Every structure is written in C-alpha cells, then in structure tokens.
C-alpha cells in the first residue's frame, strides 16, 4: 500500500495542486480499487490505479468548477438584490477633462453604451466586471464578495473583458457603417 501511494499520489498532486484534495482523490481511488479488486488483474493493478487516480482528480476539478460557478451565481444574485443602485465611480472617470456640451454628450453616450454592454454579459462575468471595473474593487475584494477563488475572479474578468471588447468594437463598427 505505501508503494502504491507513493506511485499514484503525485499524479493527483500534479493535477489538483492541493495536498488535501489529492488525499481525497487517493481515498476515492483506493475505494474504487478495493471495490473492483476481484476484476482487476494483479499485473495491471498499477495501471488501473493510475487511471482511477487521474479520473478521481479530474472529477474533483470538475466539481470545483461547478461549485465555483454556482457560488458565483449565488453571490451575483445576492449582490444584485442587496445593492441594485450600485455606484459607477470608476466609469464616472470618463468625465476627466470634459467641459464642453458636445464632449459631455459623447461621454454620456459612451457611458450608457459601456454600462449596457456590461449589463449584457452573462453571469458570473457581469458581476465580476461590475465589481472590478465599475465599482473599482480589487480582485481579492471581488473574490470575498462573490464567494469564489481569486483565480476564478481573474478567469471571469479576462473572459468578461474579451466579450466586452468584442461588443464595444461591434457597436463602434456599427456606428461607422451608419455614418
């Protein structure tokens, strides 16, 4: 058993990058191995254990992703219900140096388009982008508020920014076509 543990535990540690989760995967793998002991050829048991460890580790990763997405959705719903009139302070920075009426009108139109594009993002990207870019929270503050990991916040922010850039580019190109 210790030799098998030394052989397959590093697989889970490499995949999961978490010692406790790797231990959980090891326990799941050993349970599976014991359940199927009568059907596993002793010569192939190490290969079976390796595959079972990899599968158990991937299952844990998938369940983390699902948990993070559900948690982000719950966090987004709670934030929306708790504070429907969120501050748009960083978006207000569009005001910088604009004093003429035409410039203000263009700025207001840009603000409306940006906020509408953010509102059109899917969850949880919308909430993450609103918290970080609109309200100015740090990544750690966003993670605490939404209840997911900082890494998930960074991932959601990256994909949200990409979608936002595409949407705003499409709006700008639509304006150029209409003129």
What average pLDDT does the segment 48-58 reach? 88
**Percent with pLDDT over 70 in the chain:** 78
Query: What angle in degrees, to the nearest 10, is found between the helix axes of 2-16 and 45-82?
Result: 40
At 17, which helix (H) or strand (E)? Answer: none
| Mean pLDDT, rounded, of the chain | 78
CA distance 76 to 70: 10
The per-residue pLDDT for 99 is: 67
Residue written as token pair 């231990």: 23
pLDDT class of 72 with cuts at 50, 70, 90: low
Q: Decide if 127 contacts 75 (C-beta within 8 A).
A: yes
- In the 8-state DSSP scheme, what is residue 123? T
Contact (CB, 8 A) for 144 and 150: no
Residue 75 buriedness (CB in 10 A; 0-12 / 13-18 / 19+): buried
146: tokens are 């939404």
Q: Between these two residues, 64 and 29, which has the higher pLDDT value?
A: 29
**121: three-class secondary structure by DSSP:** coil
More confident residue, 112 or 87: 112
Quickly state the pLDDT bin for 88 (edges 50, 70, 90).
very low
The predicted structure's pLDDT at residue 87 = 47
Contact 124, 72 (CB under 8 A): yes
CB 146 within 8 A of CB 161: no
Higher pLDDT residue, 77 or 164? 164
Instruction: Kindly report, residue by residue over 139-177, the tens digit of the pLDDT.
Output: 888 888 888 888 989 999 999 888 888 887 776 666 655
Count of CB atoms within 10 A of residue 107's CB?
A: 16
Q: Which of 21-25, 60-64, 81-85 has the highest mean pLDDT?
A: 21-25
């Amino acid at each position: 058993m210790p030799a098998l543990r030394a052989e397959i535990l590093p697989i889970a540690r490499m995949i999961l990058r978490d010692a406790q989760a790797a231990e959980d995967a090891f326990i799941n793998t050993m349970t599976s191995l014991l359940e199927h002991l009568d059907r596993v050829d002793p010569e192939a048991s190490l290969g079976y254990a390796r595959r079972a460890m990899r599968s158990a580790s991937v299952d844990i990763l998938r369940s983390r992703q699902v948990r993070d997405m559900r948690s982000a959705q719950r966090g987004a719903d709670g934030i929306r219900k708790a504070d429907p009139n969120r501050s748009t302070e960083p978006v207000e920075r569009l005001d910088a140096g604009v004093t003429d009426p035409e410039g203000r009108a263009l700025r207001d139109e840009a603000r409306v388009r940006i906020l509408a594009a953010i509102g059109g993002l899917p969850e949880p990207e919308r909430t993450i982008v609103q918290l970080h870019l609109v309200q100015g929270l740090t990544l750690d503050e966003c993670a605490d508020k939404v209840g997911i990991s900082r890494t998930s916040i960074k991932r959601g922010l990256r994909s949200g920014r990409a979608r936002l850039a595409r949407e705003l580019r499409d709006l700008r190109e639509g304006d150029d076509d209409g003129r």
